[in-house]
Chains A and B, each alone.
Chain A
Amino acid sequence: MPALGLAVGQTIGGFRLDECIHVGGMASLWRVSALEGGPARVMKIPLLRYGEDPAAIVSFEVEQMIMPRLTGIHVPQLISSGDFDLPYLVFELIAGHWLKSRLDDLPLPFAEVAAIGGKIATALHDLHRQHVIHLDIKPSNVMVRESGEAVLIDFGLSRHEELPDLMAEEFHVPIGTGAYISPEQLLYNRSDPRSDLFALGVLMYFLATGQRPFGDPVKVGGWRRRLYRDPIPPRLIRDDIPPWLQELILRCLEVDAKARHATAGQLAFDLQHPGAIVLTERAERRERSSLFTVATRYYLAARGRPQFVQTCSHQLARAPIVMAAVDLSNGAEPLAEGLRLTVRRILQTEQSARLACVNVLKLARVALDEFEDEHGRNRHLQRLAALKLWAHPLQLPAEAATYHVLESTDPAGAILDYARNNLVDHIIIGARGTSSLRRHLGSVSARVVAEAPCTVTVVRTARQAFLPEEAAS
């Protein structure tokens, strides 16, 4: 494949070009190998010829700025880069598949759509925590590693909140991909991480139905239609899509970012726990808005640009996933009450927080089968009811809390696994006592504190200091 006079066998920056993988509108991608040996890599070489689209140059500069600052499994690892005379970026060659390659098989089974959506939401949350909003999420910019994680690629349109926004300074038009661009980007706001949730909603809609919710408009005027014209509900196109998935997709596609999930982490949480999603009118929607509603929205959308004040880290900080590990055993009531008080304090300051109330039903090491039977199911349901009873005085709106009874022989391990798998930001757990036996054997809370992937608050009862040691244990 010819690309800019580059040829197989040519050497750039200590790498030999082995094969041209892709030639896009802004850059070409080559499989390369280092002259001194080592694994195959990918080199991205921008189209920087005179008279080329300046967007190609600026987007390459954006990647030059952002890529060295990103780490982790959800982005391609940067190996090397070249400067002005010889601009290029060298990345790891990702073993896995390109999400775009699944587009031939649309529509995909809904379970696969949810799984892919969950992987991308998890990757986005990791990205947002690094102060970066991608702003061009679409199937061609997502890869899936063989180990299962989504990898986000092509950061040419992205925004790093701690670096100058070269794109916004250069181009005074909305920048993005017509089918996926969010309403905020159309209104010149490039600082809201929830823009990536909108694009992910478009992607999930497309994967689930085979159709794009807003088509694939070429001109900005066509892009703006999404500000007032809502998409056809996905279940109208494919009636086997479950209501909860329609609920999530349509929530991602809300024009007002505030109506979407507060963070990608919260969306990932919902995709992992479909049974816990609170269904609204969106889930059962069978028709698009009336022409009168559309006309009203059109009028409002035409009235100018709202001002947004939002940054990536601010939005993430106000919307944590808080996990309350509640002990419901006999004698733990004062502690459960103290836990509730602490949870209340935290939720009061973080208005967009999600609370996951978790209780561990401890299994005996041998009798696993017991819980398959009627008795086991009953115990599980009883615990769930007790957990809801515990949370009831908090008076939380239904969508702000979820309830989970975990069954495990190892309560601390179960709590830690749950926190890792659900992007939990903050664990609140009670410490039952300070007896010498506990100190020697190690308590659940001590192990959670030691091994948790996030902040942990340990709660004690108010009167613990005044209780004799044995009574406190």
Chain B
Amino acid sequence: MIDTLLKKQVDKSQLIFFALSSSLGLAILLIVIQLFIDTRSVFNSENDLLGNQNLIIYKDLGRNNAFTDQEIKELQQQPFINKTGGFTHGTYHVLASVTLPNYTGISTEMFLEAVGDQFIDIKSTDWSWQPGDREVPIIIPKNYINLYNFGYAASTGMPQINEKIIRQIPIELKLTGTSQTKMYPAYILDASEKINSILVPESFLNHTNKTLSPNKASKISRIILDVINPSDPKLLEFLASKNYNYLSNDVQNSKLSYVLKLILSVVLAIGLLITFLSIYLVVTNINLLILKNKQTITQLHFLGYSKVQIAKVYHKIAFKILGVSIIIALLISIGCKFWIAPYLEILQVDSTLITIAYLIIISIIIFIGLAVYYRKHTNSKIQQMLRPNTSLLTTEN
């Protein structure tokens, strides 16, 4: 009976409108959250288009272009640089030979470099070396494979290769240092899209440098930076002031990532704005409802109905609006997930169903948060209304 009395002023169409506007805001919020979760791998990955958080810098050619300890220290102190890693190179001549059955062997002079494992986009348990190991793993730039396949192999009639086959090719490394020459069997572990160099494990390079050219110090001529944002103007200004060069491609990729993040953030802000506005509307509507029923509420209170009993009626209304809004928002965002999934595949994002679990958890959290807020708000409104000495309570004298 108390329900019927207190709900007599409820305008259902108005409530449905509020529920729909809240669900629109919440749906945008959930969709953006879901996109953030789904594309997290794109933004964070180390070799992908959008996730390039590394920048390789080097000095102008033609002068002593090694980085001094002082310069490396200075780089490490910059707030926009997380980590620095130097490329160390071999202090010896390298001759690599490949012998393929039925073909004449190829041999080429080359070089070897090493960089900290955390900067390498290839994660493999085989990427290690210690004295006594049979073979040395090598990582080459992906460009080399392309150059070979579409340039050299095509014109000389050699077979084309891919990353899987390339592992099978036995390579003989002849390293000639100042004190001795040594042969090492090697193989190409993988091809990196990120690092344009021929890499061997740091342990191998340190070992060979020490044993083959003990009297030569290795210099660092290129440094890889782990940065928060490669297109950060402060970073670029700093690099320009020091005359350090970098590949502009890296910066551009980062800009793309930045723009995408910005767009998602703007949409998130719009979603938040709509949600706040709709919450405000619902709250205002509940206020109006309470005000319209002021007389009924105070009379019920005279009769012995507690504030809690009266407030419960309004809580139920608010929770229903909220529940309906969140369920609609959740359904829209799940629908959107399946609609967006094929587009995300282009970005090599595996849109997993775990995201839906995340969405449901987030929805429950939003529901609880807003329900607590509505409850508090309604309680305080009713409390205000039922304070002793309000005009309705004391009209008779």
Is chain B a partner of chain A in the same complex? no
